[in-house]
Structure 1
Amino acid sequence: MLESIHHIVLFCKETELSKEWYEKVGFTYVNGFDGMHWFKLGGTYIMLHPSDTTNPGMTAIHAGVHNVEEMFQHVVSQGLEPLDHQQDSKRIDAPVERPWGDVEFELVDPDGHQWAFTQIK
């Protein structure tokens, strides 16, 4: 039976550029082979796969974090720009509390894949 997601494949035009971005965010690098790169996120792997096309704006992944403020400060210190996708991807200065109770912020990787970092309750 189903137990978990083993890995998610994200198609990237420049996997080396994407690899650098994922390292800045704080994902744990596992290994690479032939332009592909694997990162670990909890019990799931994120695979960056070379491709001529991507799905910008079509992929949205929410990662749970224990301290959203700390994560926010980390990504800012790495030169990344946290966004609020519900405000036309406007740059924000702090995590946002959603009407449904989540506290989070978003980042967009070099290929347009959206990542939300959400406080674990």
Structure 2
Amino acid sequence: MNQPANPSTPNAPRVESLSAITLATHDMARAVAFYEALGFPRRFGGPDEAFTSFALGTSFLNLIADTRGPINWWGRVIIHVSDVDGMYRKAEAAGLKPEFAPSDAPWGERYFHIVDPDGHELSFARPLQGDNT
């Protein structure tokens, strides 16, 4: 079994950040409309393209057109936002259906989940103030 690199080793490679996540979609126009309704700023592509990219701070959420088969649950993308309750209201105002109202989690975040049109689960979250976990 390979041992992880010792982070104190000079010049050892280390993970620095998440650059992007790419999600498959069966309907680019529908997916682009969903993410734009949530306020994601589009940086590349669009409803008629095979690839679309949205900026999330210094990271990106990408969409790629894929019609190979059903998209099954694969996990969850957790996105930190400045105002969880405001994002929830924005989603509802756009006619989107979050899975539940924002709540405070025992692990120290306020959050809610919403599923995109292709079944990808998104969690919008913000660390609770004063919680250092």
Same fold (TM over 0.5): yes
Give, in whole Å, the separation in 1 of the partners of 2:75 and 2:45: 22
Q: Which position in structure 2 is the counterpart of 1:97? A: 104
Return the letter of the residue paired with 2:73.
Answer: G
Q: Which position in structure 1 is the counterpart of 2:10? A: none
Structure 1 window deviating more from structure 2 (26-35 vs 61-70): it is 26-35
Compare the two structures and name the one with the higher helix fraction.
Answer: 1
Contact 1:15 1:35 in 2 (8 A): yes
Return the letter of the residue paired with 2:24.
Answer: F
TM-score when normalising by structure 1: 0.83
1:82 aligns with 2:82: no
TM-score when normalising by structure 2: 0.76
Q: Which position in structure 1 is the counterpart of 2:21? A: 8
1:38 aligns with 2:42: no
Q: Which position in structure 1 is the counterpart of 2:87? A: 71
Q: Note the aligned Cα RMSD (angstroms).
A: 1.7
CA positional deviation for 1:71: 1.0
Q: Secondary structure at the match of 1:21?
A: helix
Report which of the two structures shows the higher radius of gyration computed on alpha carbons.
2
1:120 aligns with 2:127: yes
Give, in whole Å, the separation in 2 of the partners of 1:48 and 1:59: 16
Q: Which position in structure 1 is the counterpart of 2:63? A: 48
Return the letter of the residue paired with 1:110.
Answer: P
Give 5+ residue unaligned stretches, structure 1: 84-91
Contact 1:39 1:47 in 2 (8 A): yes
Q: How many residues align?
A: 112
Structure 1 window deviating more from structure 2 (62-71 vs 2-11): it is 2-11
1:60 aligns with 2:76: yes
Q: Secondary structure at the match of 1:71?
A: helix
Compare the two structures and name the one with the higher strand fraction.
Answer: 1
